[in-house]
Amino acid sequence: MLTEEQVRHVAKLARLKLTDEEVKKFSGQLSGVLEYVDILKEVNTEGVEITSQVTGLKNVMRKDEVVSGGVTREELLACSELEIDSNQVKVMHAIK
Amino acid sequence: MQLNKLKISEAAKGLRAGKFSCEDLMKDCLKEVKARNKDLNAYVFVDEKMALNEAKEMDKKFKKGEDLGPLMGIPCAMKDIFNTKGVRTTCCSPMLKDFVPPYDATVVKRLRDAGMIMVGKTNMDEFACGASTEHSCFGVTKNPHDIERVAGGSSGGSAAAVASDMCIYSTGTDTGGSIRQPASLCGVVGMKVTYGRVSRSGVTAMASSWDTVGHFSKSVEDSAIILNAIAGHDDKDATTPNVAVPDYTSFLGKGVKGLKIGLPKEYFGEGVEKEVSDKVMEVVEKLKKEGAKIVEVSLPMTKYAVAVYYVTMPAELSANLERFDGIRYGKKPSKSAVQDLVEYYFASRGEGFGSEIKRRIMIGTYVLSAGYYDAYYKKAQRVRTLIIKDFEKAFEKVDVLIAPVSPTPAFKIGELVDDPLKMYMADALTIPASAAGLPAISVPAGMSKSGLPIGLQIIAPQFEEGRCFTVGEVVEKVQK
């Protein structure tokens, strides 16, 4: 069971602003999902390797060269809604 | 004749015989969009002028004697998760409502190189999270066979666009079933490829170890034609192995004589509506008459697949969607009262994500958080290994597997939307193949008594998409 306090904590870690209503709803729904996935405990996985990818590729390398994505700096900067100053995106201060 | 009803194979012949132009073909598709999209809501973006211009350009090339192959001048609907240069790409999320990408996804580029002309962008569950297209900021897509029902998801718009002839073919993505399930619910062919067979570059990531790119079509032959154009290694996607790309149409016309088809018994049991499994079995009986050998197999880990998925997928999703912070990607918050950077993130993400995305980010963050990582995430990754072993064992005995796609025909709009766990079960039969990165094609298997499509899936070993086409084509043939 995930308490409302725990939901708020996870939301904080995930940088999500939730309304009180959402906190309440998620507490029930997330608990339901977590209870359901507990079914995995039935499975004996002793000595079983983990799978993090499925095609067996290893250390895919390419030449250490600058590759152009075919997109200009101006085009990329135009994707931002934020103010552009000297070819940089202006954001709020992180440290006061 | 309504040209929008044609298949790729037919339209390609007609264009070359001079029976009609690309413009005629596009015009008929757009006419259908005008007539039906209001009700179905399959497209979230159509620019008629742009579409007709693309068609006219292709006509000019034809006149000059250029031939780019069978997809040249054929109208395609693009799921709104594929970056399209200069054309709004939203993932149907408030977060990306005004995003106009500066480049084409690799698949879009490859299709353009093959002469594709685009009708528009199609509806989907926000960031491809859902099985009903109800989680879209543009509203639900309705099933062309019954507009009170869902078209499936997450690629519901693309499936409905093909089923209603508002295009000739369309693109989609399949992470846990997002192509096969809507294809089954809408009665069209849906191809989910081997993990890494098609580049994901320029396609917004959901769960990186599961995501695949595929397509919807009106026939299995068309599906093979499309895969020919998009498959293969891409320098921009390091997870695309350098496996040779065969001519997938060469797998057509081979028949199933002597082929060993496995029926995984876990896919025909509890939780699957009888009408669905009966329809699939009817087709299997006909394949037997065509000379296929039917073998019952067991995939005992099947019942754990949904749980594996709902731990690892949200984990990967929550990490992938971290980049939507209102700075690197996504919308800046509407409120001006935000005081500092952290508050800015909270506000941008709080406003920009819909409830299903928030739910999944929360699950993912929780299972990755300190103290739970081993218990949930690593445990699920170990069980995933066992699911893969199940399939390996089965493929020692059989060439392909056949199973239902969706446990039920299309459900009613609103029926499952407030019950996430029930909604997650919609993918119970499609998730296992995804867990093992296997190719699987969804092919129509008939209609329910109430007139709703039922699909079956043909699952093959990795990089054996050809077998899906060989068997799929016979599945079509025996129903004629």
Please state whether beta strands B169-174 and B75-79 pair in parallel, antiparallel, or not at all (unpaired): parallel
Helical (H) or strand (E) element with B308? helix B305-320
B425 interfacial to chain A (CB closer than 8 Å): no
- Spatial neighbors of B285 by CB under 8 A, at least 6 apart, are none
Q: Where are the alpha helices (DSSP H) in B64-138?
A: 106-113
| Whether the predicted interface score ipTM is above 0.85 | yes
d(CA B105, CA B211): 15
Please state whether beta strands B212-217 and B189-192 pair in parallel, antiparallel, or not at all (unpaired): antiparallel
Is B350 contained in some domain? no
d(CA B11, CA B343): 54
Number of domains in chain B: 1
Determine the length of chain A: 96
Give the per-residue pLDDT at A93: 84
Q: What's the pLDDT band for A42 if we cut at 50, 70, 90?
A: very high
Residue with tokens 């007539």: B35
Crossing angle (nearest 10°) for helices B220-230 and B8-16: 80
> Which CATH number characterizes residue B147's domain?
3.90.1300.10
Q: What is the mean pLDDT of residues A23-38?
A: 95
Digit-by-digit pLDDT tens for chain B (480 residues) are 899 999 999 999 999 999 999 999 999 999 999 999 999 999 999 999 999 999 999 999 999 999 999 999 999 999 999 999 999 999 999 999 999 999 999 999 999 999 999 999 999 999 999 999 999 999 999 999 999 999 999 999 999 999 999 999 999 999 999 999 999 999 999 999 999 999 999 999 999 999 999 999 999 999 999 999 999 999 999 999 999 999 999 999 999 999 999 999 999 988 899 999 999 999 999 999 999 999 999 999 999 999 999 999 999 999 999 999 999 999 988 876 788 899 999 999 999 999 999 999 999 999 999 889 999 999 999 999 999 999 999 999 999 999 999 999 999 999 998 888 888 899 999 999 999 999 999 999 999 999 999 999 999 999 999 999 999 999 999 999
State residue A28 phi and psi, 5-degree precision: -70, -50
Residue A71 is nearest to which of B103, B325, B358, comparing CB atoms? B103
- Nearest Cα of chain B lies from the Cα of A86 at a distance, in angstroms, of 17
d(CA B80, CA B118): 12
- Spatial neighbors of B215 by CB under 8 A, at least 6 apart, are B169, B170, B171, B172, B179, B190, B191, B223, B226, B227, B230
Predicted structure pTM score: 0.97
d(CA B199, CA B230): 8
CA B339, B340, B344, B346 torsion: positive or negative? negative
What Rg, from alpha-carbon coordinates, does chain B have?
21
Return the residue of B nearest to A94 by Cα.
B341
Is B418 contained in some domain? yes
Give the per-residue pLDDT at B336: 66
- Compute the 3-state secondary structure of chain B and give helix, strand, coil in percent, each to the nearest 5: 45, 15, 40
- Nearest Cα of chain A lies from the Cα of B434 at a distance, in angstroms, of 10
- Catalytic residue, candidates B7, B21, B27, B79: B79
Q: Say if residue B154 is preceded by a cis peptide, omega within 30 of 0.
A: yes
Of the candidates B226, B158, B175, B173, which has an alpha carbon nearest to the alpha carbon of residue B7?
Answer: B226
CB neighbour class for B241 (10 Å; exposed up to 12, middle 13-18, buried from 19):
middle
**Other residues' Cβ atoms within 10 Å of the Cβ of residue B104:** 20
Residue B324 amino acid letter: F
d(CA B158, CA B147): 16
Residues spanned by the domain of B189: 1-293+401-480
B379 interfacial to chain A (CB closer than 8 Å): yes
Residue A73 amino acid letter: R
Hey, what are B453's tokens? 């499509």
Is B325 contained in some domain? no
Q: Where are the alpha helices (DSSP H) in B323-378?
A: 341-352, 355-368
Q: What is the CATH number of domain A4-42?
A: 1.10.20.60
Cβ contact B9:B71 at 8 Å: no
Q: Mean of the per-residue pLDDT values for chain A? A: 93
**pLDDT tens digits, residue range B28-40?**
999 999 999 999 9
Is B313 contained in some domain? no
Contacts of A17 in chain B (CB under 8 A): 346-347, 349-351
Is B438 contained in some domain? yes
- Catalytic residue, candidates B21, B154, B223, B318: B154
| DSSP assignment letter at B192 | E
Cβ contact B146:B155 at 8 Å: no
Dihedral angle at the C-alpha atoms of B52, B57, B62, B67, nearest 10 degrees? Answer: -110
d(CA B378, CA B150): 35
Give counts: helices (H), strands (E), chain A. Answer: 3, 2
Cβ contact B360:B129 at 8 Å: yes
Interface touch B102/A52, C-beta < 8 Å: no
- Catalytic residue, candidates B178, B217, B223, B434: B178
Determine the length of chain B: 480
Hey, what are B431's tokens? 């998730």
- Spatial neighbors of B367 by CB under 8 A, at least 6 apart, are B311, B314, B315, B373, B376, B377, B380
Check if B79 is active-site.
yes
**pLDDT tens digits, residue range B80-134?**
999 999 999 999 999 999 999 999 999 999 999 999 999 999 999 999 999 999 9
List the domain boundaries for chain A: 4-42
- Nearest Cα of chain A lies from the Cα of B49 at a distance, in angstroms, of 24
| Partners of B404 in beta bridges | B456
Residue B102 is nearest to which of A41, A51, A75, comparing CB atoms? A75
B383 interfacial to chain A (CB closer than 8 Å): yes
d(CA B129, CA B206): 8
